[in-house]
């Protein structure tokens, strides 16, 4: 296995493997190109299975030519549970549904995957300072991973972010900067700062490497399904990076013979209050029109998604789609997942479950399909979405009070048998 | 109108290293045309079929021109027109 370099996704121009993300010929995005010629799929699977219990087991498919152990810092994300969700499936009239619970990562979201790869690359390239533009989960991950490997960090977020996400960033000792504006304003500022500071912005100048980390979510899912593919993947879309890299990872492994079958149907999930990809999908556009986000799903509130065109292409090519759901459906989605699976997700997960419910409702999913739902973050980070959604039975400490006021009014769980 | 057009690092190979240019133009499209007149190499890098390529963002005083009138967006004297890559973030 060899790394070829960076390559423009639009025009194919080649670049060295350094801190760059834009093609100078056509302004297109760069991605990492590999040469896997001569790869023996059985040997590749054995190497994976003999690897560590985290994303580095997929090191042959990550952008590093050499990986001295010292570069691997200690948080070791990945190998999160893939949980069969039969009660959720029954509730929605579906056959086989699996939850990939990426809230079970060190900082409780899938962002630990991308940040681990980006920060390892930052160290390899000799940076002493890392930074990011974040809607919250990335902020947590960059701050934590920078602390874990003694790098200085600057984390830029919209100032109106959820308090939980601000706390779970600042605790790691980063320099947290709240910008008066939307995520897209934060992103523009970071794009400008990236030119003026010799720092590794994980999702700007290191974005080609960062994006590679998302592939590990797909690799794990395939491995956890016994080296099989799902028929359908339902995944949230913010910038579209995760969504499209899951697609890329699956294509890569099919082409290399690590798994057999066809690329699954890809369904994207967005919040109605920030749905540039869903809007473009429904209008048949091949690019997104930017929006000004207004949704409780702040982790998905990217009005100008960098990978929008590619996300549209993936959804169309696989016969899938992109749905957008209301804030009310998001809250209901959080609750449905929690009540039927025991998994408490943040608003982005509520968006994803609500999109699954939409697909089920319009019978877009055949009951014989195996569906994997990507739950990307943790419910404790977006408590406002569930606040006031429940009642506590407050009673006197007597058995009679319990029997009359609680037991008599307590139904069996949703979907229970 | 005299405006300043800021050139991102990735495009300075086409402007002889210049990071900002002062040009005349009543709209964003006119200002960009004036820039292309000075540095023809820029035109093919960021435009396609008369419009901007899909990974090019242009801002006037910090505002994405797609929230305004696109290339028809009118300019005031002293405005700053900024070209940035659209492939960051998320």
pLDDT at position A85 over 60: yes
**Which residues of chain B carry a pLDDT beneath 70?**
none
Q: Indicate the domain borders of chain A.
A: 82-109+213-385
> ipTM score here?
0.95
Residue A132: both structure tokens together: 């990011």
- pLDDT the model gives residue A401: 95
Biggest CA-to-CA distance, chain B: 36
pTM of the model: 0.96
Spatial distance between the Cα atoms of A17 and A321, rounded to a whole number of angstroms = 34
| A241 vs A67, higher pLDDT | A241
- Mean pLDDT of all residues in A10-15: 97
Given a contact cutoff of 8 angstroms between Cβ atoms, the answer to whether B71 and B35 are in contact is no
What band does A70 get if pLDDT is binned at 50, 70 and 90? low
Q: In the predicted model, is pLDDT for residue A411 greater than 90?
A: no
The dihedrals phi and psi of B84, each to the nearest 5 degrees, come to -140, 155
Distance (Å, rounded) from C-alpha A237 to C-alpha A214? 13
Residues of A within an 8 Å Cβ radius of B = 10, 20-29, 133, 183-185, 187-188, 190-192, 194-195, 201, 203-204, 207, 238-241, 286-287, 289-290, 292, 302, 304-307, 309
> Which tokens is A213 given?
């980390």
Q: Is the pLDDT reported for residue A68 higher than 60? A: no
d(CA A324, CA A271): 5
B84/A24 Cβ within 8 A: no
Query: Residue A78 pLDDT more than 90?
Result: yes
Q: Domain spanning B2-85: which superfamily?
A: Beta-grasp domain (3.10.20.30)
pLDDT at A391: 86
> What does the mean pLDDT of chain A come to?
95
Evaluate whether B19 touches B84 at the Cβ level (below 8 Å).
Answer: no
Mean pLDDT within A24-38: 95
CA A93 from centre of chain: 26
Say which CATH topology domain A82-109+213-385 has.
Rossmann fold (3.40.50)
Q: Does residue A67 have a pLDDT over 70?
A: no
What tens digit of pLDDT does each residue of A262-308 get?
Answer: 999 999 999 999 999 999 999 999 999 999 999 999 999 999 999 99
Provide the token pair at B1: 């109108």
Q: Which residues of B touch A185 (CB under 8 A)?
A: 62
Contacts of A207 in chain B (CB under 8 A): 87-89
């Amino acid at each position: 296995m060899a790394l070829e370099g960076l390559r423009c996704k639009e025009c194919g121009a080649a670049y060295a493997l350094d801190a760059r993300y834009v093609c100078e010929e056509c302004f297109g995005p760069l991605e990492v190109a590999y040469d896997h010629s001569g790869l023996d799929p059985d040997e590749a699977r054995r190497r994976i299975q003999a690897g560590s219990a985290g994303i580095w087991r997929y090191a042959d498919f990550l952008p590093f030519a050499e990986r001295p152990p010292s570069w691997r810092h200690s948080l070791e994300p990945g190998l999160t549970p893939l949980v069969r969700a039969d009660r959720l499936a029954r509730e929605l009239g579906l056959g086989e549904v699996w939850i990939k619970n990426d809230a079970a990562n060190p900082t409780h979201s899938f962002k630990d995957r991308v940040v681990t790869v980006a920060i390892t690359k930052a160290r390899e390239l000799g940076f002493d300072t890392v930074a990011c533009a974040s809607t919250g989960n990335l902020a947590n991950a960059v701050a934590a991973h920078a602390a874990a490997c003694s790098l200085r960090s600057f984390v830029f977020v919209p100032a109106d972010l959820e308090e939980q996400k601000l706390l779970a960033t600042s605790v790691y000792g980063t320099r947290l900067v709240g910008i008066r504006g939307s995520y897209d304003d934060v992103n523009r500022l970071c794009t400008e700062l990236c030119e003026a500071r010799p720092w590794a912005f994980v999702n700007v100048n290191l974005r080609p490497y960062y994006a590679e980390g998302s592939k590990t979510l797909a690799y794990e899912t395939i491995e956890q399904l016994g080296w099989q593919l799902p028929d359908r993947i339902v995944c949230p879309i913010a910038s579209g990076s995760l969504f499209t890299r899951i697609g890329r990872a699956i294509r890569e492994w099919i082409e290399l013979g690590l798994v057999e079958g066809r690329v699954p149907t890809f369904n994207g999930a967005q919040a109605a209050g920030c749905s540039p990809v869903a809007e473009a999908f429904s209008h048949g556009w091949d690019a997104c029109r930017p929006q000004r986000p207004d949704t409780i799903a702040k982790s998905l509130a990217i009005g100008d998604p960098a990978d929008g065109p590619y996300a549209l292409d993936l959804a169309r090519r696989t016969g899938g789609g992109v749905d957008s759901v209301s804030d009310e459906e998001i809250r209901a989605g959080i609750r449905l997942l929690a009540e039927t699976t025991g998994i408490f997700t943040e608003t982005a997960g509520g968006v994803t479950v609500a999109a699954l419910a939409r697909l089920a409702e319009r019978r877009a999913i055949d009951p014989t399909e195996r569906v994997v739902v990507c739950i990307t973050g943790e419910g404790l980070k977006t408590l406002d979405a569930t606040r006031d959604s429940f009642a506590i039975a407050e009673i006197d400490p007597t058995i009679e009070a319990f029997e009359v006021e609680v037991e008599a009014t307590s139904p069996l769980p949703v979907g229970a048998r | 109108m005299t405006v300043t057009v800021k050139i991102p690092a990735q495009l300075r190979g086409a402007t002889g290293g210049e990071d900002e240019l002062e040009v005349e133009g009543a709209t964003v499209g006119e200002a960009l045309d004036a820039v292309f007149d000075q540095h023809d190499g820029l035109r093919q890098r960021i435009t396609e079929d008369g419009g901007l390529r899909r990974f090019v963002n242009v801002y006037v005083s910090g505002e994405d021109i797609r929230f305004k009138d696109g290339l028809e967006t009118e300019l005031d004297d002293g405005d700053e027109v900024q070209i940035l890559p659209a492939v960051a973030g998320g």
